[in-house]
Structure 1
């Protein structure tokens, strides 16, 4: 078996400890994403991501702000699965096409507040959390609170797990996400 040929688990082949988790994901999405089926090789990794993500979804950031965090991390880490999945989330939420396009391209966002958030996420990534004071001031001046800065760190952590795992297991794009396929700009 080649090194990157991670098993695509089913409810029958997955470790018993992760089968209920996989079923929960299947119910949420209406299908079992291959990325989840492959991450199930480590029940702790899959459950860990889903747990951290559940906390991130409860953070004080608005849903559109959380998607800015996710797509900024996903494009930076070149995870085509996360970009496609969260593009779909934005489309279903009625987000402006210009916002979605800019997030996918990694270019400045049309709304000042969301652009300040995107820049802050990049600063967290670029400086491994040691964000320069001027970047933090700009984030706070855009109307965010210090709590939101920590919420961003939580989102970066959650989606670092997801994007790294998806790339490690060479997760393909699931058919339901095909219309949102993405490749990094050259």
Structure 2
């Protein structure tokens, strides 16, 4: 079985050291995904840049985490589902019922967020080949065309992280252990 190294700033490839040090400074620890992505400094930097761009997108924090959580559930990522569960609660302040429904791939009690979750799952399931009806339903729920493209951005980010976590077999960080999830 191939194993990957989960790096720290002192043993990471040279191009990843400063990036990991900055993450550690900001968060107080290095999340397992980032420690593993450091094997490819380009992948690590891409993940962080995509995250920054998504944070600047037309989606609110709650919407970003519902999109990320929905994509991660569809991709059955045992690392990202707990991470985004934690973030949805602690950063975006989402209600537990909304989070639980998103984790289960069920209808969310908030109709607008449900439309977002459905659209995100559809983008993942159909690999972007969504029907005009799916786009129209998303827009009718009050979202914009920019929001639709920002969902694609969220799916892009989650594809990078979900697939990488599978390859890396990233262990769940203690910070997210209370939100563990099994596909």
2:66 touches 2:88 (CA, 8 Å); kept in 1?
no
Alignment of 1:44-55 (within 5 A): 44-55=42-53
Match of 1:80 in 2: 78
Alignment of 1:29-178 (within 5 A): 29-92=27-90, 93-178=92-177
What displacement does 1:66 show?
Answer: 0.5
Instruction: Give the distance between the partners of 1:112 and 1:162, measured in 2 at CA.
Output: 28
Q: Which has the higher relative contact order, 1 or 2, with Cα contacts under 8 A spaced 6 or more apart?
A: 1
2:74 touches 2:125 (CA, 8 Å); kept in 1?
no
Instruction: Give the distance between the partners of 1:159 and 1:74, measured in 2 at CA.
Output: 6
Moved more, 25-34 or 146-155: 25-34
- Which portions of structure 1, spanning 4 or more consecutive aligned residues, are displaced by more than 2 angstroms? none
- TM-score, length-normalised on structure 1? 0.94
- TM-score, length-normalised on structure 2? 0.95
Instruction: Give the distance between the partners of 1:19 and 1:26, measured in 2 at CA.
Output: 11
Gaps of 5+ in 1: none
Aligned-pair Cα RMSD in Å: 1.1
Report the secondary structure of 1:148's partner residue. Answer: helix
Aligned length: 182
